[in-house]
C-alpha cells in the first residue's frame, strides 16, 4: 500500500457519520440538501406493502418532520393510502445526489389529526385543492379530457370561498424505528451508520458498505 493510499484511508476513517441523535443529524443533512439540491430536496421514496405482501413504492414529498416522525399528505383512497391503512408500517428513502448521501427510514405509521390535515390543506394552492377534489387518485381514467372536465366542474362549484378538504384527503406520519445514514466515499468504501430505537433513545452501529 502506498503512502498516498494510507493517507486517503486515514482521511476516510476520520470522517465517519457521527453517533448521537439521528433526528438531529437528519435535520442537519436536510438543511444542507435544501441548499444544494436543484429540485425538491424534500422528495422521498415511500415503500408500502400490497395485500399479498409484494412491495410497492412511489415518490412523495415530505411536508413536516420532528420528534414524532416524518409527515406527508395524500388521498387515503389512493393505492398507497389503502396499503397504509391495511398495514400501518412503511419505509422512506431520501437520496440527495448533489451531496452523495442517502437516508433510509423504517417504522410505524399513524394518521394525523383532522385538524392537522385541515390546516395543511388550507395552505395548499387553490389549484391543488381543486385537483384533490376532482381526482379519484389511482383509479382507472378513460381519458385526460374526462379528468379536465371534472376539474372544470369542481372549479365552477367553488368560484368563491374556501375549498373544503375532502374527507378522504389526509396525512400520515411515519414514526422512525430504524434509520440508516449513507455517505459516498472513494473506492466504494462508503460510510453507513444504522440507528435503532430503544426504549429510552437510540442504539447505533456502523455497517459494512
End-to-end Cα separation, the chain, in angstroms: 21
The CATH number for 3-207, chosen from 1.20.990.10, 3.40.50.1700, 3.20.20.80, 2.30.110.10, is 2.30.110.10
User: Which sequence spans correspond to the domains of the chain?
Assistant: 3-207
Evaluate if residue 12 carries a pLDDT over 50.
no
Q: Report the C-alpha gap between 170 and 81 in whole angstroms.
A: 9
Task: Answer whether residue 11 shows pLDDT above 90.
Answer: no
Q: Single out the catalytic residue among 79, 188, 192, 203.
A: 188
- 3-state SS, residue 20: coil
Whether the model pTM is above 0.85: yes
From the CB of residue 94, how many other CB atoms can be counted at a distance below 10 Å?
21
Round to whole Å and give the CA distance between 206 and 28: 19
188 is a catalytic site residue: yes
pLDDT of 3 reads 58
Average pLDDT on 60-86 reads 96
| DSSP label at residue 119 | H
* HSE-CB of 177 using CA atoms within 13 angstroms: 7
Stretch 154-171: mean pLDDT: 92
d(CA 28, CA 117): 27
Amino acid at each position: 500500500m502506498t503512502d498516498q493510499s494510507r493517507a486517503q484511508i486515514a482521511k476516510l476513517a476520520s470522517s465517519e457519520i457521527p453517533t448521537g441523535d439521528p433526528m438531529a443529524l437528519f435535520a442537519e443533512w436536510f438543511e444542507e440538501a435544501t441548499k444544494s439540491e436543484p429540485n425538491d430536496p424534500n422528495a422521498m421514496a415511500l415503500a408500502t406493502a400490497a395485500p399479498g405482501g409484494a412491495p410497492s413504492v412511489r415518490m412523495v414529498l415530505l411536508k413536516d418532520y420532528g420528534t414524532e416522525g416524518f409527515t406527508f399528505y395524500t388521498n387515503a383512497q389512493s393505492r398507497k393510502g389503502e396499503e397504509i391503512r391495511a398495514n400501518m408500517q412503511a419505509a422512506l428513502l431520501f437520496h440527495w445526489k448533489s451531496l452523495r448521501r442517502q437516508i433510509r427510514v423504517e417504522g410505524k405509521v399513524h394518521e394525523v389529526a383532522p385538524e392537522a390535515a385541515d390546516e395543511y390543506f388550507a395552505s395548499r394552492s387553490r389549484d391543488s385543492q381543486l385537483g384533490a377534489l376532482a381526482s379519484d387518485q389511482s383509479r382507472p381514467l378513460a381519458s385526460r379530457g374526462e379528468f379536465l372536465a371534472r376539474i372544470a366542474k369542481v372549479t365552477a362549484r367553488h368560484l368563491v370561498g374556501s375549498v373544503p378538504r375532502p374527507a378522504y384527503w389526509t396525512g400520515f406520519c411515519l414514526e422512525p424505528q430504524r434509520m440508516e445514514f449513507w455517505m459516498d466515499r472513494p473506492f466504494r468504501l462508503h460510510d453507513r451508520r444504522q440507528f435503532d430505537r430503544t426504549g429510552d433513545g437510540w442504539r447505533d452501529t456502523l455497517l459494512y458498505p
